[in-house]
Chain A
Amino acid sequence: AQTVTQSQPEMSVQEAETVTLSCTYDTSESDYYLFWYKQPPSRQMILVIRQEAYKQQNATENRFSVNFQKAAKSFSLKISDSQLGDAAMYFCAYIDGDYKLSFGAGTTVTVRA
């Protein structure tokens, strides 16, 4: 099983500021996908952003961007211009060849007004 590590159980950010969530993973594969999911209090899992490992360019979705460092097996998420609606638990995830997702422990993001 793949290992995905999120070392920050909680992060707090002021509204309109930027916060970065860290994620590292372990794999022997050269081609794979990585994801960040958001789980708000409703508990519906929402895909935030995805990164294909063979693409060197970092993925961006509006205010969300990643810093993908393949050699270091690092995949951090940056939330810019944080909004109150960004408050949620964020999970980093890796998908293997059987399409099974391995999730990190999650980071709870609190946005201060």
Chain B
Amino acid sequence: GAVVSQHPSRVICKSGTSVKIECRSLDFQATTMFWYRQFPKKSLMLMATSNEGSKATYEQGVEKDKFLINHASLTLSTLTVTSAHPEDSSFYICSARPSQRGDEQYFGPGTRLTVT
């Protein structure tokens, strides 16, 4: 149990375009999902908290208009990178917190974004 999927696993897009990444909790409901960014051999940096049915809360320094987050259901959150630039190239990871148990999070396998 407690499986989180991400789609796509890899994506290459051209500079100036937008790309959407999906995060799904497959066998549990998640009121809250989190989006992280990770550079090679570095730690995970929290970008934003996605709450079902309400606006996402962003960490300091994260551009809201660039990283659009939508949490439309208890099993799906999406991250859209708008007007992507090469510096947005990174590994993006989501995690989901089960609605019934708050202290654990389950991580998706990540999405590698390359902007050319």
Q: Smallest distance from the beta carbon of A57 to chain B beta carbons, Å?
A: 17
Q: Assess whether B104 is in contact with A45, with CB atoms less than 8 Å apart.
A: no
| A105 CA / B44 CA spacing, docked (Å) | 8
Q: Assess whether A44 is in contact with B32, with CB atoms less than 8 Å apart.
A: no
B residues at A contact (CB < 8 Å): 32, 34, 38, 41-44, 46, 49, 91, 93, 95, 97, 102-105, 107, 109-110
Q: Which stretch from A21-29, A67-75, A95-103 is at the chain B interface?
A: A95-103
A91 CB-CB contact with B under 8 Å: yes
Q: Smallest distance from the beta carbon of A101 to chain B beta carbons, Å?
A: 6
Contact A108 to B105, CB < 8 A, known contacts A43-B91, A43-B110, A44-B110: no
* Number of interchain pairs (Cβ within 8 Å): 46
A89 CB-CB contact with B under 8 Å: yes
Report, as a range, how many residues of chain A touch the other chain. 20 to 34
Q: B residues within 8 A CB of A30?
A: none
Residue of B nearest to A43 (CB): B110
| A45 CA / B49 CA spacing, docked (Å) | 18
| A50 CA / B44 CA spacing, docked (Å) | 18
| A100 CA / B41 CA spacing, docked (Å) | 21
Q: Assess whether B42 is in contact with A99, with CB atoms less than 8 Å apart.
A: no
8 contacts between A and B (CB under 8 A): A43-B93, A44-B110, A45-B44, A45-B107, A50-B103, A104-B43, A106-B42, A108-B41
Partner of A105, one of B42, B49, B105: B42
